[in-house]
Amino acid sequence: MATSSLETVITVLILCLCYTSSNSNPVQANFMECLYKRIDSPNPLSASCYTPSNSSFTALLNSTANNLRYLLPSVGKPQLIHMPLDDSHVQAAVVCARRLGIQLRVRSGGHDYEGVSYASEFRDPFVVLDMSKLRSVVVDIPHETAWVEAGATIGELYYRIAQQSPIHAFPAGLCTSLGVGGHITGGAYGPMMRKYGLGADNVVDVRVVGPNGNILNRRTMGEDLFWALRGGGGGSFGVILAWKVRLVRVPPIVTTFTVAKSSLEPGFTKLLHRWQQVADKLDHNLFIRVEFMPAAATHPKPTQKSLQALFNAMFLGGADGLLQVMGEGFPELGVQLRDCNQISWIEAILYIAGYPSGTSPDVLLKGKPLFRNYFKAKSDFAREPIPEAGLKGLWNKLLETDSFVMIWNPYGGMMSRIPEDQTPFPHRNGTIYKIQYVATWQDGEASTANKHMTWINDLYDYMEPYVSNSPREAYVNYRDLNLGMNQHHNTDATKARTWGHKYFKNNFERLVQIKTKFDPENFFRHEQSIPPLPSSIKKTKRRPRVHHKKQFKNGPSMMDQDRDHDADMREVSKKDGWKLLACLPSSIYHCGYAFQIHCQT
């Protein structure tokens, strides 16, 4: 009994210190007090919570925030960053945030293009749940699967697979610092998509924390929610803990090449027009994307303003096979044996990602992006080749600025064979290629941002006649808030169709139905999350909050923990003379309910 009392006293002391460091901020205080009540784990909570008063808070917030636009002083910052050390920490964070009416933003790799995993356009206080400490990868070569936690990067997954087998891989992204948790929720395309489909097409199971704090897997959640998680976008249905993915076979040697062409060369426009005609029809082992950038990006002193087009390729096979495919299908590019690199799959990943030749695969364990800057991005899908006249106009639009990237990624192959409703990702048969437009800049001045924003919006308007329509499709992992947003405390599934159909086409309606069933109160929400049907929100707003009985691992239920904790506090106050309310903010047991009322108006 003495030991138990001592442990309780120590807990109270820790709580006092935590609340003092939070400067009596009621959001921080309530959330942290709630976490301490609910977590029964050998991992210390004190090592997983960071408030703005912590010296490391800003560095931690910035560490994986890849769009510097959302680190400007004018952008609202989270009240707290919680870095869970095990699954029970995630469960507690969800339950506490829901109980207190606090917005929860979930970050795995920080690559959300509009920063919704670590910033918010809404006025509510919010907490960032940073998953980067949960990053284990367990590869099972005999069964050709792997379990990968949400905080791991795609590069770490690739590295761990290659450690165990030179002939296994996973078909996902080209940017190796992408967090696995969010990457797969949007689809996860990469250089093997034409043979094996998307990363989301190769998921066989998932573990996710739902809005009630329960951990669900494919069997317990059912096929509807499992469908929604594989391409329906992050932050709408739960917190991904881990994915179980299917590994695919690759040859011991693959071939890469990069061929550069200048817009000053004769036949430049005809060559790009030809690429549009053949890229989706070539052998499915071959992936050739085109990256456009100002010539100044590769030549410091160009003789005149021009574009550079880099034909960047990976072929699942040797150089002889590649040259045969190119000779038969795209001889206009003129690829020669001297252009080819015959390397292992993991070396090809480094090559495609842009690492210098000879870089050790160990760099993938660092999980760091090659660069960060201020940027705005948009996307399109082409279903017909852009005519040469349209291409010439496009080149002129690109030359109006000196800092951009445009990327064309070919489709076809397996992407044309998978039905568009097999997962929420609908951009399948009939798509020739996907277009990504990115405007970049190097300072946080509003005038600089406005100039580049205006340019990319004008470019997007110019492209309208040449890309998909009804709807004009967009890729959810290239999030674009200009397409439309949920309103603060007023989500509307009808209005959300303006952007929802661009990302998901007719699959949006099924996503709304699944959201309504599994998260009717719309706890998991952000600027472009899937909204539930309005009737379900109104219904849940009228009913009072109830404390559901939840089980964390094999420990006591939430209600049992509440009763035991409150009894301990009363016992400490009586027996040991602690003045608990003098230590804690006076509003700690009440302002949480005020937040609930505010969040439901």
- Maximal C-alpha separation, the chain: 89
Quote the percentage of the chain above a pLDDT of 70: 83
Cβ atoms of 119 and 106 closer than 8 Å: no
Q: Is the pLDDT higher at 544 or at 203?
A: 203
Pairing type for strands 126-130 and 103-107 reads parallel
Q: Which CATH class is domain 137-249?
A: alpha beta
Pairing type for strands 215-216 and 254-262 reads unpaired
Q: Which band of pLDDT confidence, cut at 50, 70 and 90, is reported for residue 489?
A: low
Cβ atoms of 478 and 405 closer than 8 Å: no
Contacts of 184 (CB under 8 A, 6+ apart): 172, 199, 200, 203, 230, 240, 243, 245
CA distance 424 to 421: 6
Cβ atoms of 507 and 419 closer than 8 Å: no
Q: Which two tokens stand for residue 270?
A: 């005809």
Q: Which band of pLDDT confidence, cut at 50, 70 and 90, is reported for residue 297?
A: low
422-135-216 Cα angle (round to 5) = 50
What pLDDT is recorded for position 428? 98
CA distance 15 to 339: 63
- Collapsing DSSP to helix, strand or coil, 473 comes out as coil
Domain 254-343+371-478 sits in CATH at 3.40.462.20
CA distance 49 to 11: 15
Domain layout of the chain by residue ranges:
2-131+556-599, 137-249, 254-343+371-478
Lowest-confidence segment of 32-41, 403-412, 461-470 by average pLDDT: 32-41
CB atoms within 10 A of CB 41: 19
Write a three-state SS string for 271-331.
HHHHHHHHCCCCCCCEEEEEEEEEHHHCCCCCCCCCEEEEEEEEECCCHHHHHHHHHHHCH
Q: Which two tokens stand for residue 115?
A: 């920063």
488-491-497 Cα angle (round to 5) = 125
Which of 449, 295, 463 minimizes the C-alpha distance to 379?
A: 463
| Active-site choice (351, 478, 503, 593) | 478
Contacts of 329 (CB under 8 A, 6+ apart): 278, 281, 282, 283
As a whole number, the mean pLDDT across the chain is 86
What pLDDT is recorded for position 558? 30
Q: Is the peptide bond before 166 cis (omega within 30 degrees of 0)?
A: no
**Residue type at 346 in one-letter notation:** I
State how far Cα 325 lies from the chain centre. 35
Backbone torsions φ then ψ of 565, nearest 5 degrees: -65, -45
- Collapsing DSSP to helix, strand or coil, 80 comes out as strand
Lowest-confidence segment of 43-47, 147-151, 237-241, 373-377 by average pLDDT: 43-47
Q: Is the pLDDT higher at 525 or at 23?
A: 525
Find the helix or strand (DSSP H, E) in which 150 lies: none
Fold equal for 2-131+556-599 and 254-343+371-478: no
* DSSP single-letter state for residue 153: B
Alpha helices in 342-413 (DSSP H): 345-353, 388-398
Does residue 566 have a pLDDT over 70?
no
pLDDT tens-place string over residues 501-528 = 999 999 999 999 999 999 999 999 999 9
What pLDDT is recorded for position 197? 99
Write a three-state SS string for 226-285.
HHHHCCCCCCCCCEEEEEEEECEECCCCEEEEEEEEECCCCCHHHHHHHHHHHCCCCCCC
What pLDDT is recorded for position 559? 30
Q: Which band of pLDDT confidence, cut at 50, 70 and 90, is reported for residue 298?
A: low
Does residue 551 have a pLDDT over 70?
no
Q: Which two tokens stand for residue 511?
A: 């996503």
Cβ atoms of 29 and 17 closer than 8 Å: no
State how far Cα 252 lies from the chain centre. 30
CB atoms within 10 A of CB 23: 12
Alpha helices in 362-422 (DSSP H): 388-398, 414-417
126 has which bridge partners?
A: 103
Backbone torsions φ then ψ of 205, nearest 5 degrees: -165, 165
Backbone torsions φ then ψ of 293, nearest 5 degrees: -155, 165
pLDDT tens-place string over residues 272-286 = 999 999 999 999 999
Does residue 577 have a pLDDT over 50?
no
Would you call 551 exposed, middle or buried from its count of C-beta atoms within 10 A (0-12, 13-18, 19+)? middle
CA distance 176 to 132: 15
What pLDDT is recorded for position 450? 97
- Collapsing DSSP to helix, strand or coil, 183 comes out as helix
What pLDDT is recorded for position 487? 85
Pairing type for strands 145-149 and 137-140 reads antiparallel
Query: Is 158 known to be catalytic?
Result: no
What pLDDT is recorded for position 22? 44
What pLDDT is recorded for position 301? 62
CA distance 170 to 174: 11
Find the helix or strand (DSSP H, E) in which 506 lies: none
The pTM of this model reads: 0.86
pLDDT tens-place string over residues 62-105 = 999 999 999 999 898 999 999 999 999 999 999 999 999 999 99
254 has which bridge partners?
A: 343
Q: Which CATH class is domain 2-131+556-599?
A: alpha beta
